[in-house]
Amino acid sequence: KSTMFEEIAGVPLIMAGPDVPKGLRIETPVSHVDCFPTILEGVGINFNSVKDGHLGVSLFDIANGYKPDRTVLSEYHGMGSTTGAYAIRNGKWKYVYYAKYPAQLFDLENDPNEITDLGQDSDYKHILNECHLKLLSVCDPDETDRRAKARQAENLAANGGREAVIARGDIGFTPAPGAAADFL
């Protein structure tokens, strides 16, 4: 998949339970960081008492109508990728930053299929800059990419180097924790 288009980066989330309204479809973007406060709330622990820098909003609150004004981040550093990819959703805007390539900007309200990249359009430079600042408020994408590449290089060396890894073959899937990989 390896892209940041909505049909790939967007993960459907289904919730059920006593405090979750039935039959609703909510368009508010959420993130995996929302699982932490949701689980705490589900077991009766106040998220604010343990927040300590953790991001996230309770999915129970969102299911009951809360619409946080926030930036939601997705990032990708997968196999075969030459650069890290970072996407933020902020209102109707989707900004995609690549560590070594031009950024992309999409107006999801008027272009839900992400056909028209506004990233190089000078009329949207201010939106592009705002989105980049929002991304920087969550992470430093260039530093994160550098660290990811360094870690990948360490793993490659620990496994005998590039040629040894290629010769070993593909695993086809990620094995469960504690299970050995079956190379194809």
Per-residue pLDDT tens over the stretch 107-152? 999 999 999 999 999 999 999 999 999 999 989 999 999 999 999 8
The yes or no reply on domain 71-164 and CATH 2.60.40 is no
pLDDT at 108: 95
Give the chain's mean pLDDT.
89
Task: Return residue ranges of the chain for CATH 3.30.1120.
Answer: 71-164
Q: For the segment 66-81, what is each residue's pLDDT rounded down to a tens digit?
A: 888 888 899 988 767 8
Q: What is the C-alpha end-to-end distance of the chain, expressed in Å?
A: 20
pLDDT at 1: 62
DSSP track, 41-91: HHTT--GGGT-TT-----HHHHHTT------EEEEE--TT-SS-EEEEEET
Percent with pLDDT over 90 in the chain: 43
pLDDT at 135: 95
Alpha-carbon distances of 75 from 23, 44, 87, 141, 166, rounded to whole Å: 30, 31, 6, 9, 25
Summarize the confidence of residues 14-40 as an average pLDDT. 88
Where would I find the beta strands (DSSP E) of the chain? 72-76, 85-90, 93-98, 101-107
Summarize the confidence of residues 84-94 as an average pLDDT. 93
Tokens of 40: 């705490």
